[in-house]
Structure 1
Amino acid sequence: MIQSIKITLFDERTLSVRFGDIIIMPSAKVLKNAQYIELGSYQYWPVLVPRGIRLYTYEQVPGFLRENPYITDGYRAYLTSRLCIKSLFILSNETVNIWSHLLGFFLFFTLGVYDLLAVLTRLGASREDYVIYSISLFCFQVCMLCSVGYHLFCCHRSEKTSRRWMALDYAGISIGIIGCYVPGVFYAFYCNNNAAEICSSPKQMAVFVDPLRHSCSPPYDIHTFVWFGYCLQYWRQVYLVTVLAMMLAVFFAQIHPHYLTKKWQKLRSVIFCAVAGYGLIPTFHWIWLSGGFSSDIVQVS
């Protein structure tokens, strides 16, 4: 007669069923594939998943993983790099973060290849268009991959490794923001590279320049229009070089070993504010060069 049935946890990989004084152990195959997921502090729930990874509560994880006390369970912790990669296929409190960024990367990659090979070719895009589009798309993909890496390896048993991936995630976010500036600056300050040649020919000036300058309110004289064109072209190069230089500086600063230390706490704030606020400089500059907020082109934009 069965007096009691009890599930006993001897360790992370052992499951036993007690029939009175007799203990029946599962087969070696079941033990090998057993995974124990602890839900909160009120029950133990054995789940057979071929990963050998345990999920922990908030109180059980190391201090560097305790970022949000309102997420009470589902934590991965104390994992090697190999087990971190395996945890990609289990359900944890990082599953949505990992897969949303991973699918986002594949989405950007697929759309990018299609646009580069089909859309831009059909529209007769220039070499500059391809370069600008590729840089912007590359920045978005770097942002996605860095976030995937952090959310996947943040549970590493080494705090140093986890912190490095966190810094890389911050760097990816900054690069993604800067990637938005590249096409904006390029096309906002776009100017025909042959402006001088066009304006020197009466026939070409009548075709290209006159309709544009007379469409402005008030109409620009020809000298103002040519100056405006050269000015846009000059500032476009300045801002593009500045953006690319800032991208490299931010990346190397945020992967520095001291980036996440208290010593660099103020510097972290300065870097993020600088990256986020930099976009206001070319924006207001373009508005000023275009004639202010009352200008037709600014109103349309």
Structure 2
Amino acid sequence: MSYTGMPINDDLLVKYLVGEATPAEAEAIQNWLLADAANQQEYENFKLIWDQSQQIAGTRNVDEDAAFIRLQNRMNKEVASAPVRVRKMKPRYWVGIAASVLLVCTVAWLTISHYYDNRAIAFVKIESHDKTRVAALPDGSEVTLNSHSTLIYPERFTGTIRPVTMLGEAFFKVSPDKIKPFIIKVNGVTVRVVGTSFNVKSRGGKTQVIVETGIVNVSEKSKNINLNPGEKVLVTKKDGLQAKESIRGRLYNYYATHELVCDQTPLHELVASLNEVYGAHISIGNKAIEGLPITTVFKDQALDDVLLVIKETFKVKVEKGKKGIVLR
């Protein structure tokens, strides 16, 4: 089902969220949501950032009108010749739709929190849509965005930190700078590093951080934890920041490396990654084989080839049906 109605943009979505959309606009948005699962995901991401920005703003004693005026004075320049999408703040009839909702969240954190001085700062917004994208940040750090992900950062890192905001999933290679930490805000979670490589995935209300090199500090509310290479942590709305765990192999950043690296990796973890990477529906029909370890590397291989390796390694049956694939 394709959508052919009125264009759906950030301002229209905000009007819908605050209950000020006309009946025709509301109907158009509902038809847009039903037309494609990717539209539903985009809306959920959009609503998440909107809710976060409202929560952040609600915890501070801030004159929002004055903050908006200060922000307008700052957002007075475009990023010239940059190979990314740049959105510049423009006046609207209320602060809530003063710009992209993602920028509202960035304003709440960067501007209202006074991390920046009064010099004009432009914000860069990168959206990966249905493919991966690689971005070079002002400090030389490199970020690979998975599909349907968003990253926002200042055109220049001029303050005492290097702050970015993100949605979705991204792999970061952060340039070292011990006196100016790199800080990511995502889904109520703060990730703080000085120079390292790691993966951040935030979807469906869950945020997962996996460290490849260096040390990463992850905090949520009053809790925080340090992760070392080969460790991961999960943060959920229900349980908050959970205990860290060790990982076996590198299954988390296939979108960036095109490799699934298994190192005594339990079969059930590999299956979960295969379902995500290939959009498959694989299940394990025998609990006795769920934890069996596998050590190998799959690089840009067809799913049937991967399943053949699993079949031969564990001597299991691979049953294909209308509802998916079952390993027994």
**The two structures share one fold, judged by TM-score above 0.5:** no
If asked which structure has higher relative contact order (CA below 8 Å, sep 6+), I would say 1
Structure-1-length-normalised TM-score: 0.21
Q: Which has the higher helix share?
A: 1
Instruction: State which structure, 1 or 2, has the greater radius of gyration over its C-alpha atoms.
Output: 1
Structure-2-length-normalised TM-score: 0.20
